[in-house]
């Protein structure tokens, strides 16, 4: 990230440090505990954050995030402070998504603003009745999917990945497929960073292999003929295979 990037995240962290010691936060936790048992054990927001970062008890973490999602949603508790807390607890995943987008676009400021704005909206509209579990994964996947759709609406914009999001609890097969797509995206980003692929080649492979767009449908986006795109794809894939063979 450049020095200009991550500005919003820094401000959010400073705001969080003030929030955790505020009377407002203490009063909110007491109020939330009355309807959300998962939040009852906590006396301050920093303890809530620590609990959600515990990788040894992912179920408990998800229960806490689910409680905050219900409180934050407009059709739930409609609590703006709960939404702010949930966003804070999502920042580790948000940073990973910001970095993935920035690796392609080169614009950390825009990536940061897009991800945080989209996540804030998704938290307030989260369908907690239909999708009561895997809160962090669902929100991040929704965010990535929406940004990808927005990018495809703007000619020349960068796809940031299309990951399927089930309207209900994702099944293991869907999660596996999503993981595979993330790995493919990361491969293209690595190839772009190391100079194996040009920006245009990385975008073409992402659009075709990740977004599953037919090559012939991409002529307008890339300003090339179908024949030219097929040739570009073939050359890029051959170069990528050669690079991977050397790495192996």
Summarised one tens digit per residue, pLDDT across range 111-120 is: 888 899 899 9
Please write the tens of the pLDDT for every residue from 31-64: 999 999 999 999 899 999 999 998 888 899 999 9
Whether the CB-CB separation of 49 and 87 falls below 8 Å is answered with no
Nearest residue to 146 via CA among 124, 166, 119: 119
Residue whose token pair is 């309207």: 167
Q: Whose CA is closest to 65, among 177, 54, 15, 229?
A: 54
Both tokens of 36, joined, read 């959300």
Q: What is the pLDDT of residues 58-95, one digit of tens each?
A: 899 999 999 999 999 999 999 999 999 999 999 999 99
pTM of the model: 0.63
Domain boundaries, the chain: 1-170, 171-248
Given a cut of 60, whether residue 163 has pLDDT beyond it is no
Structural element, H or E, at residue 91: helix 91-105
Strands (E), the chain: none
Percent of residues, the chain, with pLDDT higher than 90: 38
């Amino acid at each position: 990230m450049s020095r200009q990037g991550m500005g919003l995240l820094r401000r959010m962290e400073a705001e969080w440090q003030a929030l955790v010691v505020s009377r407002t936060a203490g009063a909110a936790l007491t109020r939330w505990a009355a309807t959300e048992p998962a939040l009852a054990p906590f006396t301050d927001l920093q303890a809530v954050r620590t609990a959600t970062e515990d990788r040894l008890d992912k179920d408990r973490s998800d229960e806490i995030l689910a409680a905050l999602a219900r409180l934050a949603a407009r059709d739930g508790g409609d609590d703006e402070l709960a939404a702010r807390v949930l966003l804070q607890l999502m920042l580790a995943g948000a940073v990973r998504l910001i970095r993935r987008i920035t690796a392609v676009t080169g614009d950390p400021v825009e990536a940061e603003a897009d991800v945080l704005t989209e996540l804030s909206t998704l938290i307030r509209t989260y369908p907690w009745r239909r999708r009561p579990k895997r809160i962090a994964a669902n929100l991040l996947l929704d965010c990535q999917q929406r940004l990808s759709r927005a990018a495809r609406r703007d000619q020349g914009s960068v796809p940031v990945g299309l990951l399927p999001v089930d309207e209900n609890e994702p099944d293991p097969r869907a999660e596996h497929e999503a993981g595979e797509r993330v790995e493919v995206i990361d491969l293209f980003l690595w190839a772009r960073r190391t100079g194996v692929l040009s920006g245009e080649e990385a975008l073409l492979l992402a659009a075709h292999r990740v977004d599953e767009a037919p090559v012939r449908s991409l002529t307008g986006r890339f300003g090339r003929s179908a024949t030219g795109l097929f040739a570009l794809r073939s050359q890029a894939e051959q170069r990528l295979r050669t690079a991977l063979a050397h790495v192996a």
